[in-house]
Structure 1
């Protein structure tokens, strides 16, 4: 089974893809962001369902739907649109649209609509790829940056999935949990700082600012797209133990850095976020190891340790750039590890001091030097 999604907002497209895969795990989903590419894809290889936005950069998505209807009268067509007026619906009546999904939408409602339209999934399990001779390290070396992700905490993933299945959920309580989850914080910050949601150009450097900019519904949908991924949380016991060690370090740095910020009458929120994300390279490696295992491959504990040593740094650098984290936040994250000699920003000095005090003895000369630079001697 193949489903085509025509949507120029990559975040919405990813959510729709994850919803389809949650309903039909063996489905092949192709996401495209312009009509020309979608028409070419349809002509080359028709699909079993088309989900299309109405308004796209190169014209209305109905151009694709008209072509699909000329070629096939039974393919289910779903329109994602901000138009819910009667005139718009009547304008495409001849296309026999099977479902209209109005923006902003809720993931659970979309799933209900698609479940009724998707053809039955004939495969009970998604087929595993053929056995490869590559090992985990070779795989990570060739991994494109677009595949880099972080794992959700298992209990956060489970709560989101419960919400997707229709169980009531307290958004305020959930948002409080998100503040301790690196994957969700990184995802929401990335979207809030993207051109699609940050036209004013004012960077968001903490989760609260991102939630305020995105709104509750968008934030929940973005979180849901992470939770629905097959390898969204670490199920392997070895990977979970490694992750917990990094998360424990993160919690300690959050507490120490935010206390220093308050002591200096500085907003602690960016310190919290930087500390939360300072092990994102390591967590990314662990997530990719889980994906590797879920694809039918195997690894040893030594390979995981080697992978963390070799790839956590490059992955963190790639993530910070690709996810458009603001420079102020990147500098705070970098200060967790070292402080450039030309640095004069008090916030970065405080973050470096927090990390130094956790890693060394209380009377360490470097900590004393940093305290003097921060005005705390």
Structure 2
């Protein structure tokens, strides 16, 4: 490890799962915020990065093209790289697999799902050889950069929305003598759009080819399992601007969250009455404001970096960039098409087939947008309500039902 100089360490991460790759990257930055990261998804890409020796390699055994195990073999045979610290991650924990690796002297052989606490401790030992870690400051906005330019650029790499529930407290409440209770955890975080979006996306990313798409938070938790779910949840809390601290932005986030929660609960109640999967409709309702919330998180980063913001600029930004941010996140996170179509139905039905799920989410979003003095007559007269044979009395009953956060 080259810590004798002031040059920050360079770390190569080779992992095919994008969410695990992102989680590892964030953990490394949490340990050394000045670390220079190179991340890739395949063995050949990792081999190319090894042409310039990094200070540490973290690689999955199950890489495509060239396995992580073969990368480790090549590193140990190379006079130039033989002493390179190399952490090998694997889904295989059987004794034969472990015996195969040990002669190659990996710095660590860690099996998935990872124990992130243990991994973080190892990284702190490996990367803290220099006492001059320093304080990583938020980079200031380049002179002349407009808010519109900044938001346009950040749309392609934003981390999603802020956390709106206390994730660490939710995890603690779900921990018991038998480990993490997924049912309790789901009940405590289900209304948070960022939690739902990340876990549903991660579960679909990790799913085996041909598996049915994951469309609800509970399905995601079950697919990921307790350890990986907890790792992803706690990893979210360490990211920049994970929680909003700016009063103006937090107030707007509360408005978006209330609209999402009301839409989700209305959708759940209507779906139950219609004998439709209520949690799929609930999930779509929770996620339909994620674009606005992601934009608010980026706006906080704009302010922290020295940018100016007032109510007029905030209103303009939401009107101009909220929908594009949502569309980009759905695409980049690869949410299942069925779920994306249900989310889109919260705004308009468009053409194509009117599934009951889409009709339900559309009605729910209309209900959530009603002002205190507005009645439900216009919704009852609309096409979605007529197709589902929902009248004014039912809509009024759902409107008066308690909302569960």
- Distance change (3 Å), C-alpha of 1:123 and 1:340: same
1:203-249 Cα offsets, whole Å, 9 max, x none, are 22211222222222222223233222222222222221111111011
1:145-180 alpha-carbon deviations (Å, 9 max, x no partner): 3435222225125656999xxxx9765433222211
Matched, 1:362 2:399: no
Asked whether the 8 Å contact 1:15–1:224 carries over to 2, the reply is no
Shift of 1:273: 0.7
- Checking the alignment, whether the CA contact within 8 Å between 2:155 and 2:325 is kept in structure 1 is no
Structure 1 residues 149, 42: CA separation in 2 closer, same or farther (over 3 Å shift)?
same
Q: Which residue of 2 aligns with 1:269?
A: 279
Residues 172-214 of structure 1 show CA distances to partners (whole Å, capped at 9, x for unaligned) of: 43322221111111112112233x4042342222112222222
Query: Aligned partners of 2:30 and 2:173: how far apart in 1?
Result: 13
| Structure 1: segments with no counterpart, 5+ residues | none
Q: How many residues align?
A: 371
Within the alignment, does 1:376 sit opposite 2:390 as a pair?
yes
Q: Label 1:72 to 1:185 Cα distance change in 2 as closer, same or farther (>3 A).
A: same
Please name the residue that 2:27 is paired with.
19
Please tell me whether the aligned partners of residues 258 and 268 of structure 1 are also in contact (alpha carbons under 8 angstroms). Answer: yes
CA drift at 1:343: 5.0
CA contact (8 A) 1:161 1:224 kept: no
How big is the shift at 1:117?
2.4
Partners of 2:339 and 2:258 lie apart in 1 by 21
Q: Confirm or deny: 8 A CA contact 1:257 1:272 kept in the other structure.
A: yes
Map 1:280-359 to 2 at 5 A. 280-294=290-304, 296-301=305-310, 302-340=312-350, 343-359=353-369
Question: Could you say what secondary structure the match of 1:258 adopts?
Answer: helix
**Which whole-Å CA distance do the structure 2 matches of 1:17 and 1:351 have between them?**
36
* 2:51 aligns with one of 43, 46, 51: 43
1:104-123 equivalence runs, <5 A: 104-120=113-129, 122-123=132-133
SS in 1 for 2:113: coil
Q: Secondary structure at the match of 1:149?
A: coil
For the pair 1:132 / 2:142, whether they are aligned, the reply is yes
Name the CA distance, whole Å, in 2 between partners of 1:217 and 1:149.
22
User: 1:40 Cα shift?
Assistant: 2.6
SS in 1 for 2:230: helix
Q: Give secondary structure in 2 for the equivalent of 1:376.
A: coil
| In 2: Cα distance, 1:11 partner to 1:57 partner | 17
Aligned to 2:105: 96
Does the 8 Å contact 2:160/2:290 carry over to 1?
Answer: no
Tell me the distance in 2 between the aligned counterparts of 1:85 and 1:238: 53
In the superposition, the TM-score normalised over structure 2's length comes to: 0.81
- Mapped contact 1:331–1:348 kept (Cα < 8 A): yes
Distance 1:329 1:207 in 2: 12
Return 5+ residue gaps in structure 2 as ranges: 1-8, 392-405
Whole-angstrom distance in 2 between the partners of 1:186 and 1:85: 33
The one of 187, 209, 223 aligned to 1:176: 187
**Cross-structure match for 2:162:** 151
Offset at residue 300 of structure 1 (A): 0.7
Contact kept? 1:277, 1:333, Cα under 8 Å: yes
Q: 1:52 to 1:343 in 2, by over 3 A?
A: closer
Aligned to 1:71: 80
> Are residues 373 and 71 of structure 1, via their aligned partners in 2, closer, same or farther at CA, if it must alter by over 3 Å?
same
